[in-house]
Structure formats: C-alpha cells, structure tokens
Amino acid sequence: MKVEEPDYAGSYTYEDYMKWTVPDMMELIRGKIYKMSPAPRAVHQIVTGEVYRQIANYLKRKKCQVFIAPFDVRLPVSPKKKEDKDINTVVQPDICVVCDASKIDERGCLGAPDWIIEVLSPRTSAKDLSIKFEVYEEAGVREYWVIHPTEQTLMVYILNENGKYQGTLKPYIRTDTVKSITLPELEINLEEIFPEQLY
C-alpha cells in the first residue's frame, strides 16, 4: 500500500521513501523528511549547469562519473547495513562525482560519492552548511564544495585523516582558479561559472 502523504514529524527509512507518491521533491536525512525548494533561481541553474558541464567534459572516457540533481544518494548508517530498511539518509546533491562504479545502480548511488558540490539557495543554505555538512563528513565524502552563487564565492572542505572536514581559510572568489583533489588535473576557473549578470 502506497503512502500518499507521510507524516512530516515521523522518522523513516529509504524503504518508506520509495513508497511515497507525493509530488514534492524531498530528502531524507537521519530519518527526517526535508522538502526540497521550489524551482531554483536562474543563477543557481546557470552556476550548477556550468560546473556540471566542465566536469562532464573532463570526465569523458574516464572512469569517474558525474551526476546532477535529481539523483538519489543513499548513505548507509554503516558499510554492513545497506538494505533499504536500514538506510535513513537519502540526499540529492546538486552535483556529485563517483569514482567507484560498484556504488552506482539503477536507483542512484549507494554509498558516499568522492566529491559533492552544493550550490546554495536561500531556502536550503542552512541545511547545506550545517546538516548536510555533518552528514557528508560522517559518510566519508572526501571532498565537499559549497558554492554561493550570488556572492560568487566557493568554500572547499577536504576530509582529513581523522575523518573531519578541513576548509579553506578564506573563500575562493570570482577571479580564482580552483583544483579538485578528486580530479587533480581538472581546473575550474570561477570566472567561467559565475555569470556577470545576476538574475
């Protein structure tokens, strides 16, 4: 029996998530439902699209794969608990890069991507900077980029040997070029991803 409208105060698993037929896009984080924002602003889409394009072009005929939202990333509580009933976090990063092909299946990604990029929106920035930051760190996402499209800045967080994120001391700005540790030969010129005119 399908659940038409979940109780947003409840606690759920991926097994529950797959039964929902509600029209709203949502994420499940530590069992709690988070509704996704309405259609993102134009600047969000421009920045996301350009970053995705550059990574996808670079990865042509390479082993790593890049995905753009909507794309389910299921983050198991532990490597030994990968059943739908055991997973209580399903996120949809704006962009993610996965280099381990065994993590990809027809439903998305099972396990931590190597690199996640979130492009902030006014209604999701607190979640991306706090809750998702913690979840990605705990799951072992090696590299996490947070792009602020209207301020035209980028913060980079890298997982250290203790499993904690270390961030850049100051944000990268529009005139900077940034390298990824996941794809060290890829350089992203921020001037190319940030539009001159903000919408």
pLDDT digits (tens, 9 = 90+) for 34-81: 887 777 789 999 999 999 999 999 999 999 999 999 999 999 877 777
pLDDT digits (tens, 9 = 90+) for 99-135: 999 999 999 999 999 999 999 987 777 778 889 999 9
Q: Do the Cβ atoms of 17 and 28 come closer than 8 Å? A: yes
> Which DSSP helix (H) or strand (E) runs through 159?
strand 153-159
Residue 50 belongs to some domain of the structure? yes
Q: Which position has the higher pLDDT, 86 or 113?
A: 113
Query: pLDDT category, 187, cuts 50, 70, 90?
Result: very high
Percentage of the chain lying above the pLDDT 70 cut? 94
Reduce the DSSP state of residue 145 to 3 states and report it.
strand
Q: Do the Cβ atoms of 109 and 62 come closer than 8 Å? A: no
Residue 111 belongs to some domain of the structure? yes
Residue 170 belongs to some domain of the structure? yes
b/e 51-86 (16+ beta carbons within 10 angstroms → b): bbebbeebbeeeebbbbbbebbbbbbeeeeeeeeee
Residue 67 belongs to some domain of the structure? yes
Amino acid at 125: S
- Measured in whole angstroms, how far is the alpha carbon of residue 145 from the centre of its chain? 9
Q: Domain range spanning residue 146?
A: 38-193
Residue 9 belongs to some domain of the structure? no
How far apart CA 137 and CA 112 sit, in angstroms, is 10
Domain count of the fold of the chain: 1
Answer whether residue 3 shows pLDDT above 60.
no
Residue 10 belongs to some domain of the structure? no
Reduce the DSSP state of residue 61 to 3 states and report it.
coil
Q: Which position has the higher pLDDT, 198 or 172?
A: 172
Q: Where are the alpha helices (DSSP H) in the chain?
A: 14-17, 42-59, 125-126, 132-139, 190-193
CATH of the domain at 182: 3.90.1570.10
**pLDDT (0 to 100) of residue 1:** 43
Residue 187 belongs to some domain of the structure? yes
Residue 162 belongs to some domain of the structure? yes
